[in-house]
Amino acid sequence: MYDILKTVNSPADVKKLNTDELNILAQDIREALFNRLTKIGGHFGPNFGIVEAEIAMHYVFDSPKDKFVFDVSHQSYPHKMLTGRKSGYIDDEHFKEDSGYTNPEESEHDLFNVGHTSTSVSLASGLVKARDLKREKYNVIALIGDGSLTGGEALEALDFAGSEIKSNFIIIVNDNQQAIAEAHGGICEHLNELRATKGKAENNIFKALGLDYIYEENGNDIKSMIEVLQKVKDIDHPIVVHINTKKGKGYKLAEENKEAWHWCLPFDKNTGKYTISFPSESYTSLTVDYIMNKAAADKDFVVITPAMPMAAGLTPDLRAKLGEQYEDVGIAEEHAVAFASGIAKAGGKPLLVTNSTFIQRTYDQISQDLCINNNPATILLNYTSFDGLTDVTHLGIFTIAAFSNIPNLIMLAPTSKEEYLNMLDWSVEQKEHLVMILMPGNAVTSRSADKNFSNINTFKIEQQGERVAILALGDFYQRGEELALQIEKNLHFKPTLINPRFASGLDEKLLKNLANNHQLIITLEDGILDGGFGQKIAAFYGSSNMKVKNYGLQKEFYDRYNPAELLQKLGMTSNQIMTDIETILK
């Protein structure tokens, strides 16, 4: 197994292979992908569909002299195998050495650490500009998918490249007719027309923007790909190479269900079934039930997602059932936010759903289009927890600090099933503010909760005690419960346990009252400390005798960490916090 792949230690080795050997190499790469993905999971469809194209890229071009920029870079696994990192795929002991995205720390063949979409043409344009200023000669190649073209940054970059760049720049558009879910928007419809006419349609957006254009129907054929790339190598102007590929190629289940196999958990190759299981009830399943019931009962309610329907568990059949009450705007987060503001202004009830890492793009729209106008929309964010997504490009730990300080934005951090559903329903129905809800990442817990949150910034005392008050926000509430029990057991008094609920403001009346019979405030938050919830509490008590100890994450780009080990490193286990409390109270 891997007979050809084992001989490839750099792109130079790819160039030594004949056509038959290159085709065997493609088979080896897919087997290596199976070895890794069946055991630890990762991006499946994007990598299986791009194998031949990336072999051809390394056969024709001369990386690292020639520069490759991968959009999202979730499709870079074959590239990694061809640039000296095959051990991360064929040797189980080396899996952790390779991230799921391009990473300059791994190889000189990776230029950027990226994981978000629609950026490759912009990044590559910068490489072109610097190359030309320095009077250097090499090819710059950006690889971008059809789904990524629905993102505004990609269109901005194409607009720039077609008019301002007058030198070598190769943009490979990998058209597999799919984003994560089905592709949406006029760009994708236009690509359909270009494919149907083999690139000869009278209307061509790329040419209209000033770019040269060439089409290749057989994007999964190495020989065809080598021929088309040889045509454009060392070209003296920007050109789009539009290739037609099949997402998930080489695994029938993935070819037939592209959305489900965009990304996978560990699975059995023969059956396609996951080899790990999850509880039947999760906050995602609760979200699905809420959305479907709400949509059926209220025709003013509409769900918006920027190409992330599964962030709320919305499968294709459920999306179809929602009909006009569901809008996938493509990979266009900024548009999604402004779109929601317009719906809210006209009396609709928008619920925008995505992962927290992607909402970072929308700070301006949230501040300007929603909050200044104070329009009542709801933004629901998945994967805000520090132990959710741990890749450096997908961290949710910055969400509280980034958004909780915008005026007119109410950020809610639910701690139980009942609280989560009640917050959702209150938010959708209220008419006064933008509300951002952090979907819990913990196992589902049950506890009675208020139904009305109109009294903004009112914290809830879940356990009345003395001496020490624990303010445990959102996903860290259960850690607060654990700490309260440990204090009672070890120090023989009952601390006060508070569920803040609101991450964007302070309950000043409650905080003032705590000073009557408490010496120490402990804050626990599932995010970075700088600019976060705990610092607001510390600032409130700044001129008083109250001691405040904040626990959270540092302002750091953590990458592929073990959550339990990170807590230990940061001194955030219950035992470590207990030691701090005992020292402070002496």
The two three-digit tokens of residue 446, written as one number: 């049950």
pLDDT single digits (tens) 248-278: 999 999 999 999 999 999 999 999 999 998 8
Same fold, 5-264 and 460-585: yes
Domain 283-438 has CATH 3.40.50.720: no
Q: Please tell me the distance from the alpha carbon of residue 288 to that of residue 313, in angstroms, as a whole number.
A: 6
Classify 406 as helix, strand or coil. coil
pLDDT tier at 556, thresholds 50, 70, 90: very high
What DSSP assignment string belongs to 304-320?
EESS-GGGGT--HHHHH
pLDDT of residue 526: 95
Residue 506 scores a pLDDT above 90? yes
pLDDT single digits (tens) 42-94: 999 999 999 999 999 999 999 999 999 999 999 999 999 999 999 999 999 99
Q: Please tell me the distance from the alpha carbon of residue 108 to that of residue 69, in angstroms, as a whole number.
A: 12
Average pLDDT over every residue of 365-377: 98
Tally Cβ neighbours within 10 Å of residue 212. Answer: 17
Classify 299 as helix, strand or coil. coil
Which positions ≥6 away from 333 have C-beta within 8 Å? 306, 354, 358, 359, 361, 362
Which positions ≥6 away from 296 have C-beta within 8 Å? none
| This prediction's pTM | 0.96
Q: Please tell me the distance from the alpha carbon of residue 179 to that of residue 91, in angstroms, as a whole number.
A: 30
**What is the rounded end-to-end Cα distance, in angstroms, of the chain?**
65
Task: Tell me the pLDDT of the chain averaged across its residues.
Answer: 97
- In the chain, where are the structural domains located? 5-264, 283-438, 460-585
Residue 280 scores a pLDDT above 90? no
Tally Cβ neighbours within 10 Å of residue 578. Answer: 16
- Long-range contacts (CB closer than 8 Å, 24 or more residues apart) made by 555-564: 555/528, 555/529, 555/530, 556/528, 557/392, 557/395, 558/390, 558/392, 558/395, 558/397, 559/99, 559/390, 559/391, 559/392, 560/96, 560/99, 560/390, 560/391, 560/392, 561/390, 563/386, 563/387, 563/390
Q: What share of the chain is helix, strand, coil (3-state, %, to 5)?
A: 45, 15, 40
Classify 563 as helix, strand or coil. helix
Average pLDDT over every residue of 230-237: 98
Q: Please tell me the distance from the alpha carbon of residue 537 to that of residue 485, in angstroms, as a whole number.
A: 23
What DSSP assignment string belongs to 77-137?
HHHHHHTT-THHHH-GGGGGGS-SS--TTT-TT------SSS-HHHHHHHHHHHHHHTT--
Peptide bond into 376 cis (omega under 30): no
pLDDT single digits (tens) 100-148: 999 999 999 999 999 999 999 999 999 999 999 999 999 999 999 999 9
pLDDT tier at 181, thresholds 50, 70, 90: confident
- The DSSP bridge partners found for residue 469 are 496, 521
Q: Which of 137, 134, 145 is nearest to 176 (CA)?
A: 145
CATH number of 5-264: 3.40.50.970
Q: Based on the number of CB atoms within 10 Å of its own CB, is 434 exposed (0-12), middle (13-18) or buried (19 or more)?
A: buried
The two three-digit tokens of residue 581, written as one number: 């409390």
pLDDT of residue 392: 96
Residue 511 scores a pLDDT above 90? yes
Quickly tell me which residue has 């035992």 as its tokens. Answer: 575
- Identify whether the C-beta of residue 69 lies closer than 8 Å to the C-beta of residue 123: yes
Residue 183 scores a pLDDT above 90? no
3-state per-residue secondary structure call for 190-214: HHHHHHHCCCCCCCCHHHHCCCEEE
**pLDDT over 90, % of the chain:** 98
- Identify whether the C-beta of residue 300 lies closer than 8 Å to the C-beta of residue 349: yes
pLDDT of residue 179: 87
The two three-digit tokens of residue 7, written as one number: 């001989």
pLDDT single digits (tens) 443-490: 999 999 999 999 999 999 999 999 999 999 999 999 999 999 999 999
Average pLDDT over every residue of 539-562: 97
CATH architecture label of 460-585: 3-Layer(aba) Sandwich (3.40)
pLDDT of residue 525: 98
Q: Which of 141, 6, 152, 162 is nearest to 65 (CA)?
A: 141
Q: Tell me how far CA of residue 502 lies from CA of 71, 284, 380, 455, in angstroms.
A: 36, 21, 14, 10
